[in-house]
């Protein structure tokens, strides 16, 4: 399977990412660019995007980029820094880029921006390669 086919396979059974209306823009090995519209159900009591939604969006980007070789990997550690509040009606984009890889782990930088290319959050995710194929799970 190509990286895009693996990512599409994963998204097809990822009901949470589907609920977030995530759309694949670009996928290549160890990389992805995804997009998500911000809807009313994602807004917190301060009328901004809930931090958990932003984190979950970045986590989906991590999953689609770190698993698209077909080798399954799970999140080991993730850190997020929020830089700008999102609002209802925004369109978020997450770009996930491989930074470092070892036999059992990999580190990805994920940048989340809005439709104006303003930085919303910076996320760093470390994954652990579990030694199974994505399609085996």
DSSP single-letter state for residue 135? G
Tens digit of each residue's pLDDT (9 = 90 or more) over 18-28 = 999 999 999 99
Confidence (pLDDT) at 63: 98
Tell me, what's the pLDDT at 5? Answer: 97
pLDDT tens by residue, 54-100: 999 999 999 999 999 999 999 999 999 999 999 999 999 999 999 99
In sequence order, the 6+-apart residues with CB closer than 8 A to the CB of 12 are none
Q: What is the pLDDT of residues 93-137, one digit of tens each?
A: 999 999 999 999 999 999 999 999 999 999 999 999 999 999 999
Query: CA separation (Å) from 34 to 4, 24, 64, 120, 129?
Result: 12, 5, 9, 14, 22
The whole-model pTM stands at 0.97
Cα separation, 120 vs 83, in Å, equals: 5
Task: Output the six-digit token pair for 113.
Answer: 């921006």
pLDDT of residue 8: 97
Crossing angle of the two packed helices 51-66 and 3-12, in degrees rounded to 10: 140
pLDDT 10s digits, 31-50? 999 999 999 999 999 999 99
What would the CATH number be for the domain defined by 3-136? 3.10.129.10
Percent of the chain with pLDDT over 90: 100
């Amino acid at each position: 399977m190509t990286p895009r086919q693996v990512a599409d396979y994963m998204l097809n059974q990822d009901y949470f990412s589907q609920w977030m209306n995530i759309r694949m823009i670009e996928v290549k090995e160890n990389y992805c660019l995804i997009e998500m519209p911000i809807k009313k159900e994602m807004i917190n009591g301060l009328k901004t995007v809930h931090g958990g939604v932003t984190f979950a969006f970045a986590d989906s980007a991590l999953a689609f980029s770190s698993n698209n070789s077909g080798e399954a990997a799970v999140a080991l550690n993730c850190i997020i820094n929020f830089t700008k509040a999102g609002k209802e009606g925004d369109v978020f984009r997450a770009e996930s880029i491989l930074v470092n890889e070892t036999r059992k782990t990999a580190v990805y930088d994920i940048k989340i921006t809005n439709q104006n290319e303003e930085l919303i959050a910076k996320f760093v995710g470390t994954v652990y390669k579990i030694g199974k194929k994505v399609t085996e799970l």
